[in-house]
């Protein structure tokens, strides 16, 4: 692991020729700690493609990136899990279709690793793969990964035309987990719109509570007379949260 740290430090310092003397088996054996080192390198890297190439070049120049992707179909489930972690850490877009297969893996731990990897990788394809799981995975579990994976454009697309009611619930919850203040007005609209099923409206109230914009407190107060008790209770709970978090007035 220290070797990888040194190589990545050199690459970020502008020395991409630094050689990475490790093989895929060694990386997979220490996937957790190595993924942490890679993630830390991305945190220090310049934004955009320049930073991405700086971190991934030592792995690409030795063919390790391809070996890690190929390891996603290894017969040993522990190897598949390790490969998913490292492909996600390295932001290997080529791994997304294979991870999409692993979400249906017979091993539950492999499935979980693949879902987490798709959340970290992000991008349009990863988002679409995650949304195929809305009827299988727990709402909050999937919303957490969607909140990591989705761009603003992805969220806009999913909110504008959700495939199912459950997809709408997951997307709305992801907005809350993202602390997406750009969606506050849309979420308030959903909370008040009785054309939406109550489950989606309740999710909108919860998302607004997670975002915590005090300007929404007035809008939520308007739901105190809501005939659907689940929406009324969700709005009241969110409103109480705003009141608890409100700054104290002058004494």
The C-alpha angle 167, 170, 174, rounded to 5 degrees, equals: 135
Nearest-angstrom CA–CA distance, 187 and 201: 8
The two three-digit tokens of residue 138, written as one number: 């727990």
Q: What is the pLDDT of residue 248?
A: 47
Q: What is the pLDDT of residue 222?
A: 86
Neighbour count for residue 35 (Cβ, 10 Å): 21
3-state SS of the chain: helix, strand, coil percent to 5? 75, 0, 25
The candidate with the shortest Cα–Cα distance to 206, out of 223, 194, 195, is 223
DSSP count for the chain of H helices, then E strands: 16, 0
The two three-digit tokens of residue 17, written as one number: 């020729």
What domains appear along the chain, each with residue ranges and CATH number?
1-121 (no CATH), 129-246 (1.25.10.10)
| CB-based contacts of 126, cutoff 8 Å, min separation 6 | 96, 99, 118, 119, 149
The two three-digit tokens of residue 46, written as one number: 């310049």
Instruction: Using CA atoms of 24, 30, 31, 32 in order, give the dihedral in degrees to the nearest 10.
Output: -170
Q: What is the pLDDT of residue 249?
A: 47
| CB-based contacts of 217, cutoff 8 Å, min separation 6 | 239, 242, 243
User: For residues 178 and 147, is the Cβ–Cβ distance under 8 A?
Assistant: yes
Q: What is the pLDDT of residue 74?
A: 97
| CB-based contacts of 136, cutoff 8 Å, min separation 6 | none
Neighbour count for residue 233 (Cβ, 10 Å): 14
Neighbour count for residue 114 (Cβ, 10 Å): 27
User: For residues 208 and 218, is the Cβ–Cβ distance under 8 A?
Assistant: no
Q: Which residues of the chain have pLDDT under 50?
A: 248-251
Nearest-angstrom CA–CA distance, 32 and 135: 30
| CB-based contacts of 62, cutoff 8 Å, min separation 6 | 19, 20
- Note the Cα 143 to chain centre separation in Å: 8
């Amino acid at each position: 692991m220290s070797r990888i740290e040194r190589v990545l430090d050199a690459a970020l310092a502008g020395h991409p020729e630094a050689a990475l003397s490790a093989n895929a088996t060694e990386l997979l054996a220490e996937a957790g700690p190595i993924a942490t080192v890679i993630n830390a390198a991305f945190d220090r890297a310049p934004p955009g493609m320049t930073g991405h190439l700086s971190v991934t070049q030592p792995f690409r120049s030795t063919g390790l990136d391809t070996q890690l992707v190929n390891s996603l179909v290894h017969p040993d489930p522990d190897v598949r899990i390790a490969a998913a972690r490292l492909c996600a850490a390295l932001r290997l877009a080529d791994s997304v279709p294979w991870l999409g297969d692993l979400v249906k893996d017979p091993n539950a731990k492999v499935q979980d690793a693949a879902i987490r990897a798709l959340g970290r990788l992000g991008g349009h394809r990863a988002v679409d793969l995650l949304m195929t799981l809305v009827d299988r995975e727990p709402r909050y579990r999937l919303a957490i990964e969607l909140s990591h994976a989705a761009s603003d454009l992805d969220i806009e697309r999913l909110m504008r035309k959700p495939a199912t009611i459950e997809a709408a619930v997951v997307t709305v919850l992801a907005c809350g987990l993202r602390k997406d203040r750009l969606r506050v007005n849309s979420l308030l609209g959903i909370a008040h719109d009785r054309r939406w099923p109550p489950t989606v409206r309740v999710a909108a109230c919860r998302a607004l509570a997670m975002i915590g914009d005090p300007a929404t407190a007035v809008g939520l107060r308007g739901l105190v007379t809501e005939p659907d008790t689940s929406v009324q209770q969700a709005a009241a709970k969110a409103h109480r949260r705003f009141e608890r978090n409100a700054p104290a007035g002058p004494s």
